[in-house]
């Protein structure tokens, strides 16, 4: 069955869900945006696990479109699912990779037994993916994927992005 999807405005680090998804980078060693916020608020245990995953599983870094889980340190969630979105490119359609971030994150959530999962708008920050299309890709995967996740929350950081997401969710141009 597909998860019920919700749009909320806010900071993903405060979400009371089983797992939050991190828009990480290949290194898994932290960065800006949502990644920085998760490590700042979650504390050093998350980074220590990321380092272990790097050395044991992904010496060359986590590939784009893949996802991997750690515990969540001091965050209210139990797990952080780290995924790497593609950078936006006008001349190349990388949407299969963006969709894969949501698909692989749901698969990891299923392996963990997470029933509620919060997602940021992957790739729509430093990686410059247009927000409306980022929402379109996210919702189309979340609404159609077969998963044991019951509630998928798409967390939009500010009011303007929430307004874009609501318009896309309603199917209005
Ligand atoms: P990427 O490198 O994948 O583009 P970013 O972290 O730069 O990732 O941005 C992804 C999205 O997350 C952007 O829309 C950004 O505004 C948003 N964002 C940044 N910080 C937070 C946060 N604390 N909670 C939720 N969303 C956030």
Over residues 9-37, the mean pLDDT reads 97
Over residues 50-73, the mean pLDDT reads 98
pLDDT given for residue 8 in this prediction: 98
Over residues 110-117, the mean pLDDT reads 98
pLDDT at 114 over 70: yes
65 lines ligand 1 (CB under 6 A): no
Interhelix angle 131-144/159-169, rounded to 10 degrees, is 50
Over residues 149-160, the mean pLDDT reads 98
Collapsing DSSP states into helix, strand and coil, what is residue 57?
Answer: coil
Number of domains composing the chain: 1
Ligand 1 centroid, distance to 7 Cα (angstroms): 15
8 A C-beta contact, residue 1 and residue 146: yes
DSSP lists the bridge partners of residue 118 as: 20, 153
Over residues 53-72, the mean pLDDT reads 98
Total-model pTM: 0.98
Over residues 18-30, the mean pLDDT reads 97
pLDDT at 172 over 90: no
Q: What is the mean pLDDT of the chain?
A: 97
86 lines ligand 1 (CB under 6 A): no
d(CA 58, CA 127): 22
Which CATH number belongs to the domain containing residue 42 in this structure? 3.40.220.10
Task: Provide the pairing of β-strand 19-24 with 4-9.
Answer: unpaired
Please give the positions annotated as active site. Answer: 35
119 lines ligand 1 (CB under 6 A): no
pLDDT given for residue 33 in this prediction: 96
126 lines ligand 1 (CB under 6 A): yes
d(CA 26, CA 57): 13
d(CA 69, CA 28): 11
- Ligand 1 pocket test: pick from 64, 124, 129 the residue with the most ligand atoms within 8 Å of its Cβ: 124
Ligand 1 centroid, distance to 155 Cα (angstroms): 9
d(CA 50, CA 53): 5
The range of the structural domain enclosing residue 132 comes to 4-170
Per-residue pLDDT band at 173 (split at 50, 70, 90): low
DSSP one-letter code for 157: S
pLDDT given for residue 94 in this prediction: 97
d(CA 169, CA 78): 28
The ipTM of this complex is 0.98
């Amino acid at each position: 069955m597909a998860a019920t999807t919700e749009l909320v405005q806010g900071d993903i680090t405060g979400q009371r869900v089983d797992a939050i998804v991190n828009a990480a980078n290949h290194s898994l060693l932290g960065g800006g945006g949502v990644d920085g916020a998760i490590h700042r608020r979650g504390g050093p245990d998350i980074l220590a696990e990321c380092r272990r995953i790097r050395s044991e599983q992904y010496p060359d870094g986590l590939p784009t479109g893949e996802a991997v889980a750690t515990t969540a340190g001091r965050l209210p969630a139990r797990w952080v699912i780290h995924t790497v979105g593609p950078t936006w490119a006008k001349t190349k359609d990388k949407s299969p990779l963006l969709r894969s971030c949501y698909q692989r994150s749901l698969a990891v959530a299923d392996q963990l037994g997470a029933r509620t999962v919060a997602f940021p708008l992957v790739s729509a920050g430093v990686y410059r993916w247009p927000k409306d299309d980022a929402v379109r890709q996210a919702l189309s995967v979340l609404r159609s994927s077969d998963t044991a996740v019951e509630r998928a929350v798409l967390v939009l950081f500010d009011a303007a992005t929430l307004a874009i997401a609501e318009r896309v969710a309603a199917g209005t141009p």
